[in-house]
Amino acid sequence: MVAEIIDGFAIAAELRRDIAARAAEMKEAYGVVPGLAVVLVGDDPASAVYVRNKLKATAECGLRSVEHVLPANTSEADLLDLVGKLNADPSVHGILVQLPLPKQIDADKVLGLIDPDKDVDGFHPVNAGRLSIGLPGFVPCTPRGSQILIDRVLPNLAGKHAVVIGRSNIVGKPMAQLLLQKNATVTIAHSKTADLPGLCRTADVLVAAVGRPLMVKGDWVKPGAVVIDVGINRIEVDGKGKLVGDVDFASVAEVAGHITPVPKGVGPMTIACLMLNTLDSAARRIAAES
Ligand code: NAD
């Protein structure tokens, strides 16, 4: 193997320790404990696991979390009502509504009601706009975490070509904005892109956020490139479930300079950045009120 592994698990643990130290200082200086409200609607097992992990990380970082679990048949009006209450609650600095939501609920409407200054997921159109014009706001956790990993191994992106595969609002587009802010020349590729392997071969930084197991192969990658694998896909190997990314780790690690593994790459950074966004939210409120 040629590539160096970017240890997202260890870097996220370091970040959580730093957040815990800053949260303790905040409590000491201002008596404020950053609070995260997590709303889970329905009984999707994957969502329940994500929420559990988020709540665990909150406690580890010395933040406060309040979980709101609502039944699958919750009406849109009831959920909007809860979001309104959380918006008005001064002890809540971050509001996270776990997606997907049941069919009867319009997710855009719910996410659009979250106070942009408590939108620690960074999904509100106001925060997407702030990111695109370079104003301070909340950056979605997965791209924020991915950018921290890239900064570790390639801090200067001026003159570099970054290719992001995937144009979702929660990963691909904000990732591209962050890379652009870092002075990379950015291409966003997607399902209609022609000659994707050829394009990827021109990338100094390649971010895969597609949701297709093992799609990016070694011969798609420029020697020495930084490869960030956002994908989380469950596949069957020898009758057993296995988590893999969008990158074929075995072949790409023979070519790339740096690569994130799946699991223990981008995933832990996503959760750590949720904590970071919640801490930032509390710090901004303190600054605004003093
Ligand atoms: P999405 O389905 O919203 O978007 C996928 C994107 O991939 C689309 O823009 C689509 O155009 C593009 N695409 C699909 N097929 C393609 C192809 N054959 N060639 C090129 N582009 C193609 O997904 P998402 O929410 O952005 O998530 C992407 C992946 O990242 C998923 O595997 C998801 O589970 C994972 N994810 C991981 C984390 C994490 O914390 N690690 C967080 C969010 C998402």
User: Is 121 considered catalytic here?
Assistant: yes
Class for domain 31-116, per CATH? alpha beta
Note the pLDDT tens digit of each residue in 114-124: 999 999 999 99
Structure tokens at 226: 């930084």
Pocket, ligand 1, Cβ cutoff 6 A: 142, 165-168, 170-172, 189-191, 193, 196, 209-212, 230-233, 266-267, 270
Query: By CB neighbour count within 10 A (0-12 exposed, 13-18 middle, 19+ buried), where does 187 fall?
Result: middle
The domains spanning 31-116 and 141-267 adopt the same CATH topology? yes
- How many angstroms from the chain centroid is the CA of residue 194? 27
- Check if CATH label 3.40.50.720 holds for domain 141-267: yes
Catalytic residue among 121, 204, 246, 248: 121
**Hey, where are the domains in the chain?**
31-116, 141-267
- Mean pLDDT to the nearest integer, 244-272: 98
- Mean pLDDT to the nearest integer, 254-280: 98
Note the pLDDT tens digit of each residue in 79-133: 999 999 999 999 999 999 999 999 999 999 999 999 999 999 999 999 999 999 9
Q: How far does the centroid of ligand 1 lie from the alpha carbon of residue 56, in Å? A: 26
Q: Is 65 helix (H, G, I), strand (E, B) or coil?
A: strand
Question: Are 22 and 61 contacting, i.e. CB atoms less than 8 angstroms apart?
Answer: no
Question: Are 228 and 252 contacting, i.e. CB atoms less than 8 angstroms apart?
Answer: no
User: Is 98 considered catalytic here?
Assistant: yes
What region, left, alpha or beta, does residue 114 occupy, with left being phi > 0 and alpha being psi -120 to 50 degrees? beta
- Whether 155 shows a pLDDT value over 90: the answer reads yes
- Ligand 1 atom with least separation from CA of 193: 20
Between CA 92 and CA 34 the distance in angstroms is 7
